[in-house]
Amino acid sequence: MKHFTGEIEIDNEILQDILEGRNLYTGTNRKVMLKNGKGINCNKNMISATWGLTRRGRLCPTNEFRDESPYYGWYYTKTYSDNKDLKEVFEEYSDLHLPTGFWWTQVQINKNFPIPPHRDAPNQGSSVIVGFGDYSGGKLCINKNGKVFYKDIKNKVTKFNGSNYTHWVSDFVGTRWSIVFFTHHSKRELKKLIKKKQDSINNASETNINNEEQ
């Protein structure tokens, strides 16, 4: 094992050390969700960064182009582009602590982010979340058909369906981190997107060659 020990509390301390000081970019949609849901602005002590893919080809407010991914219509988030080495970190962590065979392509990294009630509509299937840090409170709240369940996720890997059920975070004190493993795509869908991207590149090349010959 390169980074972790296999003991979740120790590994979460290691993961926190890895994430501290990283360039973790809170996306506009997360800031809007916080503003609309809680009536507060995201400050420098709050982070909700998506490590993975996005459909948005440009960054707000700079309007810079994002890095392209091998998947048609999808780009890498700024947090991914700035922290590509986290891939092996998350893969090792997931191999040690996530349910066997759980499929994920993205990771949401949260620090002190008071997530309001919402659903993760684009997600497919279940997500896996774990909390860590020096905090109290901060339970995962899940509304299942009008009944609210309160899950203590501190150093506890918890599987839940964030696309089907409204969920949020209860009040907390201290420094609260959480990471959420999830996906928007099945393996089959990703293979199709790779092929579609390659086809579009090939078609563009053929068009350029034809234009040059004319």
pLDDT tens figures, 27-51: 888 999 999 999 999 999 999 999 9
* Residue with more model confidence, 26 or 61: 26
**Hey, how many other C-beta atoms are within 10 angstroms of the C-beta on 69?**
20
Please state which of the ranges 92-96, 176-180, 201-205, 208-212 shows the lowest mean pLDDT.
208-212
pLDDT band at 204 (very low <50, low <70, confident <90, very high): low
**Hey, how many other C-beta atoms are within 10 angstroms of the C-beta on 179?**
22
- pLDDT tens for 136-152 read 999 999 999 999 999 99
Please state which of the ranges 43-57, 134-148, 197-211 shows the lowest mean pLDDT.
197-211
Residue 208 predicted with pLDDT over 80? no
Please state which of the ranges 24-28, 109-113, 200-204 shows the lowest mean pLDDT.
200-204
β strands within 71-144, DSSP E = 75-76, 106-111, 127-132, 135-137, 140-144
**Proportion of the chain above pLDDT 90, given as a percent:** 84
- In terms of phi and psi (left: phi > 0; alpha: psi -120 to 50; beta: otherwise), the region of 105 is alpha
Q: Say yes or no: domain 8-213 is CATH 2.60.40.
A: no
**Proportion of the chain above pLDDT 70, given as a percent:** 95
Enumerate the domain spans of the chain.
8-213
- The whole-number pLDDT of residue 200 equals 83
Asked if 66 contacts 54 with a C-beta cutoff of 8 angstroms, the reply is yes
- Give the chain's mean pLDDT: 93
Rounded to whole angstroms, the Cα distance separating 123 from 161 reads 9
